[in-house]
Amino acid sequence: MTNRDLPPLIDYGLIPLLNLLAALAVSGVVFAIIGVPPWTALASMAEGAFGSGDGIGYTLYYATNFIFAGLAVALPARAGLFNIGGEGQAMLGGLAVALVCLGLPGWPWWAALPLVVAAALAGGAAWALVPALLQVRRGSHIVITTILFNFLASKLLTWMLVDVIKAPGDPSPETAGFAPSLALPGIEGSPLNLSLLLALVAAFLAWLLINRSVWGYELRAAGQSPEAARYAAIPAGTLAVLAVCLGGACAGLIGVNEAMGVEHRLVLSFTSGAGFVGIAVALMGRNHAFGVVLAALLFGALYQGGSELSFDYPQVTRDIVIVMDGLVILFCGALEQLWRRPVTALWRRR
Amino acid sequence: MAEAIRFDGISKRFGAVEANCAVGFAAAPGSIHGVVGENGAGKSTLMSILYGYYQPDEGRILLAGQPVRIDTSAQAIALGIGMVHQHFVLVDDFTVLENIVLGVEAGFRLGPALAAARRRLAELEASYGLAVDLDAVVGGLPVGLRQRVEILKALYRGAEILILDEPTAVLIPAETEQLFAILRRLKAEGKTIFLISHKLREIMALTDRVTIMHQGRVVADLATSATSEAELAELMVGRKLAALPAPSLARPGSVLLSASGFTVQDRAGIRRLDRIDLTLRGGEITGVAGVSGNGQSELLAALAGLIPVEGVLLWEGDEVPQRHRAQALRRLGLGHIPEDRQRMGLIAGFEAWETAILGYQREPAYARRHFLRIGAARDETRRLMAEYEVRPGAPRLRSAAFSGGNQQKLIAAREMARAPKVLLVGEPTRGVDIGAIELIHARLRALRDAGTAILLVSSELDEILALSDRILVMAGGRFTGELSRAEASERRIGLMMAGLAA
């Protein structure tokens, strides 16, 4: 009975804000220790993330990936399953995108897009299907299997890019460039492209499915109480597989953003850990589609602000930025209850 | 009168709810003090305050005249207060001895600690007539003995004041009698016992004084000898109770559901249901009496198609295939008020309207082309809540926020509102207050008169006797007897429940 004791504005607004401030405060201490004045560091990050058109562009570009990755965790989570395989599912989505794009030279992007999106969805979903089936049919824990599938995906991608679809004569493991006509329209000066709209549409559809459809209702019922779902003759197993596959499909769309939107080819480490950030995004967004969008924006800003910060201060290495991301995850995710008790107590005393 | 304990002006609020309001009364040493009231009347809150789970907003507790502060249950235990929980808190894989010693081991080395405990427990068992085999594994003990382990646990920790929360809800009549004997003995030894119960007959039989609570306040505090069951009931509910009219004679119709050779084995290969045959006729309430855990849960689950079962199930003469049986039965018109409302009947995190459509979410009334008709569902829930007196009548409130009785009324409303052809009912009034019992019983009868075939599984003999047209007694996964309403008496059923022919 803890959650709804608070009005939504406090529950979904004030408490995440307090968590974020706590994370920033501790980050400030870290900055002070390595000799960067905390206040200017924060200002530099904010400036980097929101201070210029390019900065905003980068923030939104990162957020695009994080929305996909966040949905990849949030959708299965509503069915009670923890999908850690976003990274691998994204790789398969990327592979599918590359294969379609390489096969459609000369097509305009708008004609290819539906095919590319379908391929990305299918690639991600296919990679999620096996762990989902193993969980539902055999009880193999999905956390373990999806982690293992991340390794498999990474090996598969490496092999494909080194031995199979590598551009001839190119020393690096990547495909040949796609036809220029296939490049998604974007903003000059930043990697931001049309995929952001795709991400927002995906989030909206996820919301519609989960919160408004009968399927979503049954999915949530099965996720919250398997016993009650059985009682209500809800096919919980089928729905769980469906939810995990939909999550994988969302992760697959990261491939659209990276391959078709930014690099115009498939490069080896294109996912760059976005799949794992998705776990934090879903955690912070409370597995709600719109929450995921907001959390993805926050993490996008942290990423972009962080890289800007390491630019300004040589002692802020990539690792320090990761420490800061970790603190945000720690306070917003794992220590999410930290402020709930005192705030609830204050609210009651009112 | 010497006082063992006094509640002095205890008040406790949860948000807008006044759970306790200036509650004050006292209990004497060597007495059994009943506390009665509807669900949500504040009994549990008060006892939780006494046991250190909650702190009162105002007021204080005096033990033997001295004000005390009880911040944790550890402090409560140190002050000699013991709680026997309604849901036992025992480790199934441990022996009785290990369970009792758990957390209060006398030293770092377990061996000597257990030996010392064994000596003290032998004394306790002897002086209170609480015979339990200390080396038995708790998981294998019947419920009545587990309860004794809980009582021993409290006494071993030096309890002078014992709180028993609905202690007889899970017991068969014989076990109840044994419990009462133990409680009387404890009382004779000078212990103070708080007995929380919905069963007014037990309150009348056992207690010396009784405190009646209503909406967080004490409405009366009486010597038991000076009151009556009827007076208690009216004080509890705060109004006159309409006596349930004598049931009209059943007019059984055609057979709607019949099962033959129903057999269910658990993982260990034990037969939970053993070749059960059962027919349910329209317009008839078939009661299944028995001690919990004798196959009733499996019977309900198997009839509803929720677990795999050997045997044949016929619906109006046609076989219902095993595959997708639950869905098929729901479509044919099966309603099911499940035994375990918390885990099966509702989803704690769902809003009331979401719980109110559970199992019916695909009906045209609630869904159009795969999308929920949320407005329609909320309106319908509001209507159901009014009709079945669910309080508060707020469709957006989370299901977990309702009291047990109101949750049950909501579930009953959901399953009864569509006038199902067959209705399976498991423990419809367990832990539910008098007002809700009255309503649910009246609705069940009305449904029967309208032609529904009802299977009522209950461990409350009163309930079985009040509602059933035909009574089956269950023990060890089989029906051990069948009685018509006219033949049935508590004694005969009790004997059959214990597995003895009557």
Q: Which of B304, B347, B367 sits opposite A228 (nearest CB)?
A: B347
B370 vs chain A: nearest CA distance in angstroms?
5
B52 vs chain A: nearest CA distance in angstroms?
18
pLDDT value at B501 more than 60: no
* Strand ranges for B246-317 from DSSP E: 255-265, 271-281, 284-289, 310-315
- pLDDT at site A209: 95
Positive or negative torsion for Cα B90, B92, B93, B96 = positive
Residues of chain B contacting A228 with CB distance shorter than 8 Å:
343-347, 358
Residues B97 and B136 in one domain: yes
* Structural domain count, chain A: 1
pLDDT value at A49 more than 70: yes
Collapsed DSSP state (helix, strand, coil) of residue B142: coil
Percent of chain B at pLDDT exceeding 90: 49
Best probe of the B interface among A2, A214, A238, by most B CBs < 10 A, is A214
> Is B185 or A344 the better-scoring residue by pLDDT?
B185
Residues B171 and B48 in one domain: yes
Quick one: DSSP state of residue A228? H
- Contact: A224, B340; criterion CB under 8 Å: no
- pLDDT at site A217: 96
Residues of chain A contacting B344 with CB distance shorter than 8 Å:
225, 227-228, 230-231
Question: pLDDT tens digits for B216-234?
Answer: 899 999 999 999 888 888 8
Positive or negative torsion for Cα A340, A345, A346, A347 = positive
| Mean pLDDT in residue range A123-135 | 96
Residues of chain B contacting A233 with CB distance shorter than 8 Å:
305, 324, 326-327, 329-330, 359
Rounded to two decimals, the pTM is 0.79
- pLDDT at site A314: 85
- pLDDT at site B345: 92
**Which CATH number goes with the domain that contains A319?**
1.10.3470
Amino acid at B485: R
Quick one: DSSP state of residue B348? T
Cβ-based contacts under 8 A for chains A and B: 70
A339 vs chain B: nearest CA distance in angstroms?
18
First-to-last CA distance in chain B?
A: 48
Whether A195 is in a domain gets the answer yes
Distance CA B17, CA A34 (A): 51
Nearest CA in chain B to A220: B350
- pLDDT at site B241: 62
Distance CA A298, CA A63 (A): 8
Residues B329 and B351 in one domain: no
Question: pLDDT tens digits for B318-377?
Answer: 999 998 999 999 999 999 999 888 889 999 999 999 999 999 999 999 999 899 999 999
Listed ranges A31-45, A116-130, A299-313; the one with the highest mean pLDDT: A116-130
> Is A180 or A347 the better-scoring residue by pLDDT?
A180
Residues B260 and B233 in one domain: no
- pLDDT at site B308: 92
Q: Which of A217, A225, A348 sits opposite B343 (nearest CB)?
A: A225
Residues B354 and B489 in one domain: no
- pLDDT at site A5: 58
A3 band by pLDDT with thresholds 50, 70 and 90: very low
- Contact: B374, A212; criterion CB under 8 Å: yes
- Contact: B15, A348; criterion CB under 8 Å: yes
The range of the structural domain enclosing residue B56 comes to 5-237
* Structural domain count, chain B: 3
Distance CA B214, CA B216 (A): 6
A1 band by pLDDT with thresholds 50, 70 and 90: very low
Burial of A33 (0-12, 13-18, 19+ CB in 10 A): exposed
Residues B102 and B141 in one domain: yes
- pLDDT at site A324: 86
For residue B339, report the phi and psi dihedrals to the nearest 5 degrees: -60, -45
Nearest CA in chain A to B341: A228
Nearest CA in chain B to A6: B15
- Contact: B346, A213; criterion CB under 8 Å: no
Provide the 10 A C-beta neighbour count for residue B122: 11
- pLDDT at site A199: 97
Nearest CA in chain A to B353: A217
- Contact: B343, A4; criterion CB under 8 Å: no
A294 vs chain B: nearest CA distance in angstroms?
23
Best probe of the B interface among A218, A224, A227, A286, by most B CBs < 10 A, is A227
A171 vs chain B: nearest CA distance in angstroms?
52
Amino acid at B144: G
Q: Where are the alpha helices (DSSP H) in B363-473?
A: 374-387, 404-416, 434-449, 461-467
DSSP letter string over A280-338?
HHHHHTTT-HHHHHHHHHHHHHHHHHHHHHHHH-TTS-HHHHHHHHHHHHIIIIITTTT
Give the C-alpha distances (Å, rounded to integers) separating B32 from A203, B65, B223, B451: 61, 19, 11, 46
Quick one: DSSP state of residue A187? -
Percent of chain A at pLDDT exceeding 70: 97
Question: pLDDT tens digits for A147-173?
Answer: 999 999 999 999 999 988 888 888 888
Q: Across chain B, what does the average pLDDT equal?
A: 88
Residues of chain B contacting A348 with CB distance shorter than 8 Å:
14-15
Short-list B486, B311, B328, CA closest to B422: B328
Question: pLDDT tens digits for B75-85?
Answer: 999 999 999 87
Whether B396 is in a domain gets the answer yes
- Contact: A4, B306; criterion CB under 8 Å: no
Q: Report yes or no: B330 at the A interface, CB cutoff 8 Å.
A: yes
Give the C-alpha distances (Å, rounded to integers) separating B377 from A212, B182, B380, B384, B410: 12, 51, 5, 10, 14
Please list the residues that pair with B258 across neighbouring strands: B279, B314
Collapsed DSSP state (helix, strand, coil) of residue B209: strand
Q: Which of B340, B359, B371 sits opposite A214 (nearest CB)?
A: B371
Residues of chain A contacting B329 with CB distance shorter than 8 Å:
233
Question: pLDDT tens digits for A196-216?
Answer: 999 999 999 999 999 999 999
Q: Report yes or no: A214 at the B interface, CB cutoff 8 Å.
A: yes
Whether A108 is in a domain gets the answer yes
- pLDDT at site A18: 87
B380 vs chain A: nearest CA distance in angstroms?
17
Question: pLDDT tens digits for B258-282?
Answer: 999 999 988 777 888 999 999 999 9
> Is B19 or B310 the better-scoring residue by pLDDT?
B310
**Which CATH number goes with the domain that contains B456?**
3.40.50.300
pLDDT value at A272 more than 90: no
Distance CA B271, CA B264 (A): 6
- pLDDT at site B404: 80
Burial of B413 (0-12, 13-18, 19+ CB in 10 A): buried
Distance CA A101, CA A138 (A): 37
Does residue B410 contact residue B338 with C-beta atoms inside 8 Å?
no
Does residue A24 contact residue A42 with C-beta atoms inside 8 Å?
yes
Distance CA B261, CA A61 (A): 64
Distance CA B499, CA B451 (A): 33
- pLDDT at site B254: 92
Residues B232 and B260 in one domain: no
The range of the structural domain enclosing residue A260 comes to 11-24+48-340
Q: Report yes or no: B401 at the A interface, CB cutoff 8 Å.
A: yes
Residues B277 and B232 in one domain: no
Pairing label, strands B310-315, B318-319: antiparallel
All residues at 6 or more sequence positions from A86 whose CB lies less than 8 Å from its CB, including other chains: A69, A72, A73, A247, A248, A251, A274, A275, A276, A278, A279
Whether B96 is in a domain gets the answer yes
Q: Report yes or no: B371 at the A interface, CB cutoff 8 Å.
A: yes
Amino acid at B401: A
Distance CA A157, CA A163 (A): 10
Nearest CA in chain A to B302: A231
pLDDT value at B502 more than 50: no
Residues of chain A contacting B15 with CB distance shorter than 8 Å:
5, 348
Whether A3 is in a domain gets the answer no
Whether B341 is in a domain gets the answer no
- Contact: A214, B304; criterion CB under 8 Å: no
Residues B35 and B72 in one domain: yes
pLDDT value at A106 more than 70: yes
- Contact: A228, B15; criterion CB under 8 Å: no
Collapsed DSSP state (helix, strand, coil) of residue B368: strand
Pick the last residue of a domain from B237, B271, B288.
B237
Best probe of the A interface among B344, B369, B381, by most A CBs < 10 A, is B344
Distance CA A139, CA A145 (A): 11
Lookup result for tokens 């658990």 = B266
Whether A251 is in a domain gets the answer yes
All residues at 6 or more sequence positions from A83 whose CB lies less than 8 Å from its CB, including other chains: A72, A73, A75, A76, A77, A128, A131, A142, A146, A244, A247, A248
* Strand ranges for A107-146 from DSSP E: none
Positive or negative torsion for Cα A263, A264, A269, A270 = positive
B132 band by pLDDT with thresholds 50, 70 and 90: confident
Q: Report yes or no: A233 at the B interface, CB cutoff 8 Å.
A: yes
Residues B229 and B268 in one domain: no
Whether A1 is in a domain gets the answer no
Residues B50 and B173 in one domain: yes
Question: pLDDT tens digits for B168-215?
Answer: 877 777 788 889 999 999 999 899 999 998 788 889 999 999 999 988
pLDDT value at B126 more than 80: yes
